[in-house]
Amino acid sequence: MNRPLAATADTFGNAPAVAAPSPYYRWMQLLMGIVCMAMIANLQYGWTLFVNPIAEKHGWSRAAIQVAFTIFVLTETWLVPIEGYLVDRFGPRPVVLVGGLLCGLGWVLNSYADTLALLYIAAAVGGVGAGAVYGTCVGNALKWFPDRRGLAAGLTAAGFGAGSALTIVPISAFIKSDGYEAAFLYFGIGQGLIVFLLAWFLSRAPEHKKTSAALSINVQQSKRDFSPGEVVRQPVFWVMYVMFVMVAAGGLMATAQLGPIAKDFKIGEIPVNIMGLVLPALTFALAIDRVLNGLTRPFFGWVSDQIGRELTMLIAFGLEAVGILLLYNFGQNPVAFVVLTGLVFFAWGEIYSLFPSTCADTFGSKFAASNAGLLYTAKGTASLLVPLSSVLAAATGSWHTVFIVASVMNAVAALMAWFVLKPMRKAHMARQD
């Protein structure tokens, strides 16, 4: 049967477990998830465009305004396990419907925020909505593509970066022409509406969906489904969690401080010419961030489908450790700064495809959204460690310690992938026989 939905669909219109969708149907599900991710990307990546206009109008300090961003990140990450549970229980449609409404509402509230309290409430509303959409789309991709989890999760996560790349210029122009309030209002309504409409076409993958295509012998997959309650009692989960925190924090420590680092290196405004494109060094580096941070997710996800998750982690995290050290040692050269920054970003963004796919491989498809959501909270934990980079730099008077710590964390995570995670996952799978 080629119909994607049977007459016995559940209360929320999700495809029932017995449905046999067309081979192309899952690719449409993946594409709609990617578009939804692109529509929520500006809640995070476009925020920086609004900070100065808000400060200029209300006279609030930038530090006070950025509290809203911290609230957004925490609500976007730490509530994903709950939203993932709802996806596993009721399917993706109702969760994304509500998420789209909350994302739109968050930006509409931002457009009217005349107090810091309302700005913070808007950030929390938007964060809950973004987390609902993010967690659902990644979880649904993992379920629809058990044979290509790395690629599917990577393409979905890449949408989160691509969305900001596509709309950053229009939003910036709209702010200049009509004011930041109008930009919040109209882009908020537009983005939220697109997510809301696409949500009606999302459906859950048939339970225990298997593919006739042979899986790579290098990709170990669980023979049974572990509930979130069981997952948190598995030591292998906490090994993945610690690795996620180390790589996320290590990369953020190096990348989040690019502006101050470029200023201290005295190269931020120096023009750099690469293949005929001339831009100031810092601007060039940030532009490369958007491109490579998106490309790395499906690339390394696809690689991990071919050679295995742990070996891919060893390579990627090792590259990140080396890239950070090279950036510190040779970053005073403007061209080297741009190139090495690109390497750092390319070897860092893949965590958002490798860890969700590894989690689903290890603990099964049925609760993939909930379990990946539990692991995704590591991003929020890592964000709390990032301010330590400023403390370390201030305490030591240079960026030396920051780069060393970031590099070491990535190197340790790379070695853990091969020497700790791989044997632990093998033993975990063996216990299911």
Taking the C-alpha atoms of residue 348 and residue 256, their distance in angstroms, rounded to an integer, is 12
Token pair for residue 199?
Answer: 């949500």
Domain 25-199 falls in which CATH fold? Growth Hormone; Chain: A; (1.20.1250)
Per-residue model confidence as pLDDT tens digits over 232-242: 999 999 999 99
Q: Quick check: do 25-199 and 228-430 share a fold?
A: yes
Domain chopping of the chain, boundaries: 25-199, 228-430
Q: What is the pLDDT of residue 15?
A: 45
Does residue 168 carry a pLDDT above 50? yes
CATH of 228-430, one of 3.40.50.1100, 3.40.50.300, 1.10.600.10, 1.20.1250.20: 1.20.1250.20
Per-residue model confidence as pLDDT tens digits over 390-412: 777 778 877 788 889 889 999 99
Taking the C-alpha atoms of residue 36 and residue 282, their distance in angstroms, rounded to an integer, is 30
Per-residue model confidence as pLDDT tens digits over 122-166: 999 999 999 999 999 999 999 999 989 999 999 999 998 777 777
Return the bridge partners of 272, or none: 279
Q: What is the 3-state secondary structure (H, E, C) of 211-279?
A: CCCCCCCCCCCCCCCCCHHHHCCCHHHHHHHHHHHHHHHHHHHHHCCHHHHHHHHCCCCCEEEECCEEE
Does residue 116 carry a pLDDT above 50? yes
Segment 242-249 mean pLDDT: 94
Does residue 3 carry a pLDDT above 50? no
Q: Maximum Cα–Cα distance for the chain, whole Å?
A: 67
Token pair for residue 19?
Answer: 């449905």
Q: What is the pLDDT of residue 393?
A: 75
Q: What is the pLDDT of residue 217?
A: 62
Q: What is the pLDDT of residue 118?
A: 97
Does residue 285 carry a pLDDT above 90? no
